[in-house]
Structure 1
């Protein structure tokens, strides 16, 4: 992770605090690798490469990696292309995410730029994006586009396409203001002042066929989810946010999208397909998740409870209270020494009886993880770290707190006598810029609030009751005589079916 005291710390997604250089009036130093995944794109790929051959970004800093995703007819590079263009063939897996990741691993540039094989870029396309990466190393920049009918290119040779891009003529080949926009994305830009007001939800707009990011940020995020066949951009956007990224829509980075997208033609079917995957992997897309009853791969909240040296009843009281929260989408990590043996000994004389009781209570609970240390990598958008096990949350305390932090786009809350809850994106941003995590950094990055434990809904653990099933012995209740009404009724509850 980059640790630089000279980089500016962008608050939330308010990227306008940055001052990138003007186009054409600066000296680039970073190399960029443009990764182009291809599948049945033989009709448009030559135009895409011709456009890249005419970019204003220095040619000696430009690398193009074309990824053949197992095309029925193997891809052959056309003659008109950037000088440093390579062809990589996928040898394992398939799909756009897998092809993009394959190309990223094979590339060498400081910055990775994605460009689909049907995107004809204007001459300043790359320069407009790359100037941000010279300002901060956690920028994620999206270009903009218009969807056009490629038939207007006719039989124009690729040399002519390259020259039209170089001269700027390609910008008037179609009417930019009249052609179809990416309505959902640009609508979000418009409603949030180009994402500056979107805060932590800005990365829901990380979709499209053109964008760029620092290689180190891509690595820190874990890269493309290669098992996904659709929705990979939005899933990656979530993890880029968690890694501390700031999302910047760059209107000067323009391109023509040669034809409409698969998503535009089959939106409802694709959304239906994506929902199952995105709900499981992207906890910030909360409307896609059930409030209760489901378990997801990536929970919304991770709670760390230190059970070392504590009495079992106190640990159980706190953990049970957490699991009893109105916020069901959480996972609890209980820290302790769980290397317990099964050697013969008196159960009540066991020197590790407190740990053993806690272990036996939660070892097979799907929402509890027993570990020796807290996970180094934060796996959820929020982490709550408790100072001890003397107090427990009321049923609605955690949900109310996180809803308040989300409403204000805050990054952390310090709760006196309880612990602290931190937004993963804020923690990553501060560490990326300053190298160390401080309350001052969190406050500057996203905002930090301080609360008293009682104000936040926490009470002494002995006062927090978790409801249990009633188990008292009762005399049997006689069933009523059969209902003479011939219409079927529920045998158990006396209700009509």
Structure 2
């Protein structure tokens, strides 16, 4: 498949075929996590049995998450399987177990309280035939399940087949907060790299390959797993497409609708820890499992004082949510008797000792060749340059506002500082052609900018490095003299 190059999340360049006018080739696995689903599952499977998507390309994997053993009803798609997780519990665990068991090219999540219209799977799948890194978000209304529960599964099947569900439901409620985001962002076309925030898993689909590359669902999460997965998919460069024709009916209200504040209060610390792109959920001064920014510096062959000057300047940034990846020959260090001050590894040992126990430093042997786990990566060309305290925070804030993917900071010696948006780099890596420069593709899908070091807030590391804490001690002085000394110390900075 020739891959279109989508800029940010401007998915309107994709032209999806009209429903019923095309011939699918990709297989779709509908994964239905089923907890306490005996009442609604027959209705849900009846709707899936009436789909327009070809039977030979459609399978349904129902994941029995308890509490009692499920039995598949008679009215169901031809290729329907029941599986059980080997271990664990919860929706994320069940969906992941279903994904591992699925055979389809496309994974389509569908909760066990979602009744779909007959074109729903077809509407979702058509986008995956256009782009291998698309995530499709279905459309849904929240309704009282009573009218369909009063019907037999066969009658539900018949109603779906004749497009008769709309007449069954009276009062209906939209997915209000999602619709608000759609209205504000022209249905995510203007959402840029933040489109992931509307990734709700009740009815969404993703290519199986993209799912695996993202690392899949975090099975340790009990709530919020859909947003966490959305963040992982976005990190891989996914394009998020909301499809109003992928229609479904949510049979009942959700936990979020009933207890939104409590759900968000529970989810926020879990999402903050795992999803660096959801920075609004993080708090200044905190250190998280996955940093917002990774700074890479190769220490090979450099004097210890130069390296520590650069690293200390980075760690003293007003942006605390970062980690330094320090590249060096750390494995060459040994504890054999040696001339301590004349040791050939003197500089390596000093740098290693300085940062071995620093929680925001990662000491590695080789420069990373794969995209960062952080939302952004900054690569210093050497220890001779470092950011001034506010420079990193300002640079990333500018990138967040512009949605650009690459910032090059030009130094007087001709070298450059690189700041990369990981999502844009990952998308560009999927699209770059042989002989094409990756930066050109990043510029095409996200935008790039070059600026001089002074404007960007970078300077010689020896000048930027923070001073040591001021000395204290000595004979006591009165309060006014103490304040005068303190003011003098800080004025000198």
Question: Normalising TM by the smaller chain, what interval?
Answer: over 0.9
Structure-1 separation of matches of 2:268 and 2:396 = 24
**For residues 109-163 of structure 1, what are the alpha-carbon distances to aligned partners after superposition, in whole Å with 9 as ceiling and x for unaligned?**
0000000000000000011110000000000001011111111124311011111
Structure-2 separation of matches of 1:72 and 1:11 = 45
1:407 aligns with 2:401: yes
Name 1:148's counterpart in structure 2.
Answer: 143
Structure-2 separation of matches of 1:348 and 1:185 = 63
Structure-1 separation of matches of 2:244 and 2:102 = 26
Structure-2 separation of matches of 1:479 and 1:319 = 36
Structure-1 separation of matches of 2:259 and 2:304 = 55
Structure-2 separation of matches of 1:479 and 1:411 = 52
In the alignment, structure 1 segments of 5+ residues that lack a partner are 481-497
What is the count of residue pairs matched by the alignment?
472
1:31 aligns with 2:24: no
1:166 aligns with 2:164: no
Superposition misfits of 4+ residues, deviation over 3 angstroms = 477-480
Structure-1 separation of matches of 2:305 and 2:205 = 52
Q: 1:99 aligns with which of 91, 94, 98?
A: 94
**For residues 418-460 of structure 1, what are the alpha-carbon distances to aligned partners after superposition, in whole Å with 9 as ceiling and x for unaligned?**
4201001100111112267622101111000011112211111
Structure-1 separation of matches of 2:216 and 2:275 = 15
Q: Secondary structure at the match of 1:253?
A: strand
Verify the 8 A CA contact 2:200 2:226 in the aligned structure 1.
yes
**For residues 284-306 of structure 1, what are the alpha-carbon distances to aligned partners after superposition, in whole Å with 9 as ceiling and x for unaligned?**
222221111x2101110001001
Name 1:255's counterpart in structure 2.
Answer: 248
| 1:110-149 alignment runs, 5 A limit | 110-149=105-144
1:309 aligns with 2:301: yes
Structure-2 separation of matches of 1:297 and 1:373 = 22
Change (3 A) 1:254 1:85: same
| 1:452-471 alignment runs, 5 A limit | 452-471=452-471
**For residues 86-128 of structure 1, what are the alpha-carbon distances to aligned partners after superposition, in whole Å with 9 as ceiling and x for unaligned?**
0001220000000000000000000000000000000000111
Structure-1 separation of matches of 2:437 and 2:96 = 31
| 1:41-440 alignment runs, 5 A limit | 41-69=37-65, 71-175=66-170, 179-292=172-285, 294-339=286-331, 340-375=333-368, 376-417=370-411, 418-434=416-432, 438-440=438-440
Structure-1 separation of matches of 2:300 and 2:98 = 46
Change (3 A) 1:44 1:458: same
Name 1:486's counterpart in structure 2.
Answer: none
Q: Secondary structure at the match of 1:203?
A: helix
1:171 positional shift: 2.9
Structure-1 separation of matches of 2:112 and 2:226 = 16
1:261 positional shift: 1.1
Change (3 A) 1:324 1:231: same
Q: Secondary structure at the match of 2:9?
A: coil
**For residues 239-298 of structure 1, what are the alpha-carbon distances to aligned partners after superposition, in whole Å with 9 as ceiling and x for unaligned?**
100111000000000011111112211211111111110111112222221111x21011
Structure-2 separation of matches of 1:308 and 1:172 = 71
Name 2:443's counterpart in structure 1.
Answer: 443
Structure-2 separation of matches of 1:358 and 1:344 = 19
Q: Secondary structure at the match of 1:172?
A: coil
1:472 positional shift: 4.6
1:67 positional shift: 0.2
Verify the 8 A CA contact 1:430 1:437 in the aligned structure 2.
no
Structure-1 separation of matches of 2:298 and 2:469 = 28
RMSD: 1.4
In the alignment, structure 2 segments of 5+ residues that lack a partner are 481-493
Q: Please give the TM-score of this superposition, normalised by the length of structure 2.
A: 0.93
Structure-2 separation of matches of 1:399 and 1:266 = 35
Q: Secondary structure at the match of 2:409?
A: strand
**For residues 200-253 of structure 1, what are the alpha-carbon distances to aligned partners after superposition, in whole Å with 9 as ceiling and x for unaligned?**
111011124100010010001000000000000001111100111000000000
Verify the 8 A CA contact 1:7 1:433 in the aligned structure 2.
yes
Verify the 8 A CA contact 1:143 1:210 in the aligned structure 2.
yes
Structure-2 separation of matches of 1:338 and 1:72 = 52
